[in-house]
């Protein structure tokens, strides 16, 4: 199943709910909405009940039809973030319980054990494999190479919730709301190295490049080697003081244990059932592929969705420097000797793009059009211009797949194979998406 929920603010403000209200008759403040028990930290208003009903109805329909989308609006001050978290987490919890019940109901004991229990294992049900599918993935400690298996088990148990917002400050606000709820599931926050890096010797100005360069060296990064100390820190485990954590909490832990908060957060996302991230991790195909964000069958929440149009426009725009293209082409030319199936198509694309820029520049100079600050094209003309550079719609999926592999290779910290530099990765991301 796949569900997308977009939320936005309405025009009219509303009273802030009383966070201290707890009903003596209902100490957990459990409200049955659309057949699902939802725990809410205080007595909900009618608008909140209606909001949560719409969310749960959307998720029910997604489960039934395979996918469903909803655009839900609520006035400022009605606690929509809290309502959204409680309803989606309640639905996820209910899905998980029903899934486990279904798994257990399929286990049928030996019929002869009824008449002769001692002769047939005392009536216990023999298992052909360990029943890890009924155990939350947060309680299973797995090595990094089993991350894919861990994700599959997590998906079998319940859909992952991706909660996306525009800025990290907005994500911090949502996490403060999450802390008010009674729900606690394995969580993670995806963010850039600029937000997470704890190595004092790495410059923040060119952090991606310096990080990858440091990891490629023989001595490596001491912070990266201690990544597991951050991920396995007691405070972020179940019942810990930072079980519901923010970026700053993970960074502080990283500073204390001298571990890498960035790669710890990425590793935590493998087992997480609730993942907070910026819009780009969902919308940007290359970033999604390079960060191994799999949204298939997931619950996607796009908070403050009125920003989405601008984000999509920004995501479809790029500024390319000619020098950066030449640097990328030089690296691709070298790498295609090592792995032609990935780097050869990319090298040809960039070479064609550079040639097209040179030809277009000459035409502009010949017609005096270069005096204009910009030129605007219709969509059809832009497509024709790209076709002149041998970049066609039919060939684009191949380029996108190659670009994703190249960027992922540059992000692989455990590989000794040559890869693109950080600046070239940024240039390639722009070329591949726009």
What is the CA 351 to chain-centroid distance, rounded?
32
In angstroms, the CA 84 to CA 70 distance is: 12
In angstroms, the CA 266 to CA 281 distance is: 12
pLDDT score at 291:
82
Reduced to 3 states (helix: H, G, I; strand: E, B; else coil), residue 162 is strand
pLDDT score at 90:
97
Half-sphere exposure of 345 toward its Cβ, with a 13 Å CA cutoff? 18
* Helix-strand-coil split of the chain, %, nearest 5: 55, 10, 35
DSSP character at residue 339: -
pLDDT score at 184:
96
What is the CA 314 to chain-centroid distance, rounded?
19
Residues 6+ apart with CB under 8 A from 318: 430, 431, 433, 434
Q: Which of 16, 19, 52, 48 is nearest to 34 (CA)?
A: 52
In angstroms, the CA 33 to CA 31 distance is: 6
pLDDT score at 110:
60
Sheet containing 161-165: which strands, arranged edge to edge? Answer: 67-74, 2-9, 299-302, 161-165, 274-278, 187-189
Q: Are strands 2-9 and 30-33 parallel, antiparallel or unpaired?
A: unpaired
Inter-CA distances, 111 with 51, 117, 119, 131, Å: 48, 10, 12, 21
**Degrees to nearest 5, angle at CA 282 with 158 and 91:** 25
The residue assigned the tokens 């319940």 is 158
User: Which residues in the chain show pLDDT less than 50?
Assistant: 11-22, 123, 125-144
pLDDT score at 33:
94
Span 126-153, pLDDT tens digits? 444 444 433 333 333 344 455 556 566 6
Q: Which of 425, 393, 163, 189 is nearest to 290 (CA)?
A: 425
The residue assigned the tokens 């798994």 is 103
Span 24-81, pLDDT tens digits? 555 568 999 999 999 999 899 999 999 999 999 999 999 999 889 999 988 878 889 9
pLDDT score at 136:
38
Contact 83, 48 (CB under 8 A): yes
In angstroms, the CA 149 to CA 288 distance is: 19
* pTM listed for this prediction: 0.74
Helix axes 422-433, 340-366, angle to 10 degrees: 70
User: What is the per-residue DSSP string for 218-269?
Assistant: SS--HHHHTHHHHHT-GGGSTTSTTSS--HHHHHHHHHHHT--HHHHHHHHH
């Amino acid at each position: 199943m796949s569900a997308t929920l977009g939320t936005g603010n309405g025009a009219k403000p509303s009273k802030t709910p009383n966070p201290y209200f707890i009903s003596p008759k209902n100490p957990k403040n459990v409200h049955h909405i659309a057949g699902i028990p939802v725990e809410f930290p205080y007595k909900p208003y009618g608008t909140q009940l209606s909001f949560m009903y719409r969310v749960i109805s959307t998720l029910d329909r997604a489960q039934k039809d395979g996918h469903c989308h909803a655009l839900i609006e609520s006035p400022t001050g009605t606690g929509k973030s809290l309502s959204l978290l409680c309803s989606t987490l309640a639905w996820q919890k209910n899905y998980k319980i029903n899934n486990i019940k279904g798994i257990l109901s399929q286990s049928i004991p030996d019929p002869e054990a009824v008449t002769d229990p001692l002769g047939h294992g005392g009536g216990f049900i023999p298992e052909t494999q360990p029943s890890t599918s009924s155990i939350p993935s947060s309680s299973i400690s797995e090595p990094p190479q089993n991350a894919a298996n861990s994700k599959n088990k997590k998906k079998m148990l319940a859909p992952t919730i991706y909660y996306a917002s525009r800025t990290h400050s907005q994500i911090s606000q949502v996490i403060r709301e999450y802390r008010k709820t009674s729900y606690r599931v394995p969580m993670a926050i995806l963010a850039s190295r600029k937000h997470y890096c704890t190595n004092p010797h790495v410059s923040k100005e060119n952090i991606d490049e310096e990080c990858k360069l440091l990891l490629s060296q023989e001595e490596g990064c001491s912070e990266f080697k201690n990544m597991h100390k951050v991920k396995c820190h007691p405070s972020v485990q179940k019942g810990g003081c930072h079980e519901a954590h923010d970026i700053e909490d993970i960074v502080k832990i990283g500073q204390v244990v001298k571990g890498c908060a960035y790669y710890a957060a990425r590793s935590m996302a493998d087992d997480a059932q609730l993942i907070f991230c910026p819009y780009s991790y969902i919308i940007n195909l290359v970033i999604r592929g390079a960060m191994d964000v799999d949204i298939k069958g997931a619950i996607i929440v796009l908070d403050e969705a009125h920003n989405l149009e601008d984000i999509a426009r920004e995501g479809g725009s790029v500024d390319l420097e000619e020098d950066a293209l030449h640097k990328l082409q030089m690296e691709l030319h070298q790498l295609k000797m090592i792995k032609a199936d990935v780097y050869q198509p990319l090298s040809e694309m960039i070479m064609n793009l550079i040639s097209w820029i040179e030809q277009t520049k000459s035409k502009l100079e010949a017609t005096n059009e270069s005096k204009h600050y910009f030129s605007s094209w219709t969509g059809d003309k832009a497509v024709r211009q790209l076709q002149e550079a041998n970049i066609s719609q039919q060939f684009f999926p191949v380029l996108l797949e190659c670009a994703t592999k190249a960027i992922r290779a540059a992000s692989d910290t455990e590989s000794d194979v040559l890869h693109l530099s950080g600046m070239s990765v940024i240039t390639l991301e722009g070329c591949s998406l726009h």
